[in-house]
Amino acid sequence: MADADTSEDEAFEDASEFLEDEESLLCTSLTHQSFEDDSKENCVLTDGVPAPGDLTIQSISTHSAVLIWDPPEGIVTFELSCFTDGEQTETRTTNSNSAEVEKLKPGREYTFSVASVTEKDRRSLPVTVTTHTKPVPPERIKVDHVSADSVSLSWESPDFPVWEYHVTCWQGDQLVQEMTTKSNEATFNNLSSDVKYSIKFTTVLENGSESKMATRYAHTKTNLEGLLVSLGLMNHFKDKLSLSSVLQISEKTITDKAPTSLSSLPWCFLKRLMMPTNK
């Protein structure tokens, strides 16, 4: 009988070692598949440890996110991890059921995971949540061209995937025109002359998340200024035509060719006007 009892005890001990080996193997496998992080190969990941509940994003901005979760009974320590573009960017432990993750990049997709940790360094299966940080508005907005009835602008694209830009044109508090575009330029036509407009820009992600507004101002030209721009004479609106420019007109520069554009019309007229004088 003693030999039988000894045999049963040895069999029981062998089975316990087998279960411990299987549990450790499960930990290593799940850790590799979920996080691809060899640093946790010595942990014990088991369903016996209750996982946090209801992991949610409390707030999100361009560079930070605040997470909150329900702590299981008897668990006071949690491990928080952050992932983006398939890479782990941060891992830390906390004794709180909320955390703020900072130094994020705008307009990017992030996945956050939280696992319960016991006093014996046993971890639960993680709970996860995925979100996008807020995008930033267009940068380095330039007013490329202004006439009496139109304004053209361009800007630099940010370093994250943009779905579209929402651009609006305002006169005071009145919306004049609006458009959406996937390019980094916009033109508003049929505007009023000699009016100051505010052009407002927002960046939109594919999930509908919008950035804050960026604003640029543009003042349309008067009708006279618009005509001078079309004729290429805007530089002479305030400055007189110099004598050296007039003296450039001679028999060699006078031709019978018809003007090909509005900007060439004034010089053609002046050359014709100066013909009798030069001859």
The conformational region for residue 235 under phi > 0 = left, psi -120 to 50 = alpha, else beta, is alpha
d(C-alpha 111, C-alpha 93), whole Å:
17
pLDDT at residue 70, rounded to an integer = 95
Band of the pLDDT at 63, cuts 50, 70, 90?
A: very high
177 closest CA partner among 195, 161, 162, 160: 195
Read off the pLDDT of residues 106-133 as tens digits, 9 standing for 90 and up: 999 999 999 999 988 999 999 999 999 9
Specify the fold of 13-132: Immunoglobulin-like (2.60.40)
**Six-digit token pair at 164?**
């579209």
- Specify the domain boundaries for CATH 2.60.40.10 within the chain: 13-132, 139-224
Read off the pLDDT of residues 172-215 as tens digits, 9 standing for 90 and up: 999 999 999 999 999 999 999 999 999 999 999 999 999 999 99
Place of tokens 């640029």: 216
**Six-digit token pair at 264?**
């060439």
d(C-alpha 204, C-alpha 4), whole Å:
75
Grouping H, G, I as helix, E, B as strand and the rest as coil, residue 166 is strand
**Six-digit token pair at 39?**
């640093």
Which residues, at least 6 apart from 209, have a Cβ–Cβ distance to it below 8 Å?
132, 134, 135
Pick the CATH number of 139-224 from 2.60.40.10, 3.30.413.10, 3.20.20.70, 3.40.50.2300: 2.60.40.10
